[in-house]
Structure 1
């Protein structure tokens, strides 16, 4: 009885070459998508980190101060001036640039 290899040779022919080329196309397409998503993610992270100059804790306090002045006082950002964390235009009753004033100006 002649020796028989444990694993047969891979099939050859047109069908196998077509299947192999489709696999190669799928791999390159997935690689392109992965590279593109990595570049977009890096650009997004860079943009967000350069755009926000406030400390992350201040950003959370700013968001927590949105509902009303009681919430702004509870997180410690009231009264707040325009352009600073905790300032929301809806909380500035007299539109003087200071939100959640204790004694409104007359």
Structure 2
């Protein structure tokens, strides 16, 4: 016969048994931990909203567009210029100061439209 450990059967040794008072203490500690985390989060968010250059709604949308351009578009903040809500440097691939600008290139040809040749305008007075 194989030896089965008592805790595998849902039993416990007498000296390992938890009392009702211990369980209440653990629950109380968990509640206080959750309250502390919530208070800390409210403190941080309140500080961010207070010192933000934008209104509270714009600031929350700005942080909602943190991840990528898809989230910035979903928040209605794309394309965003540097200094505006929704602008994050990693969303500005070409570093021109506009994040999440639309790309009008190769994917348009896949949707049935004719591909357009690039428009190289000569602003320095070069001859063609």
TM-score w.r.t. the length of structure 1 is 0.50
Query: Equivalences for 1:55-70 in 2 at 5 Å?
Result: 55-70=55-70
1:52 aligns with 52
Please tell me whether residue 73 in structure 1 is matched to residue 89 in structure 2. Answer: no
- The CA deviation string for residues 6-42 of structure 1, in whole angstroms up to 9 with x for no partner, is xxxxxxxxxxxxxxxxxxxxxxxxxxxxxxxxxxxxx
Is the radius of gyration larger for structure 1 or structure 2? 1
Q: Using the TM superposition, give the Cα deviation of residue 53 of structure 1 relative to its aligned residue in structure 2, in angstroms.
A: 2.3
- State the alpha-carbon separation in 2 of the partners of residues 59 and 80 from structure 1: 14
TM-score w.r.t. the length of structure 2 is 0.42
Q: Which has the higher contact order (CA 8 A, sep 6+)?
A: 1
Q: CA RMSD in A?
A: 2.7
- State the alpha-carbon separation in 2 of the partners of residues 67 and 60 from structure 1: 13
Runs of 4+ in 1 over 4 A off after TM superposition: none
- State the alpha-carbon separation in 1 of the partners of residues 59 and 52 from structure 2: 9
Q: Name the structure where helix makes up a greater proportion of residues.
A: 1
Q: Using the TM superposition, give the Cα deviation of residue 52 of structure 1 relative to its aligned residue in structure 2, in angstroms.
A: 1.9
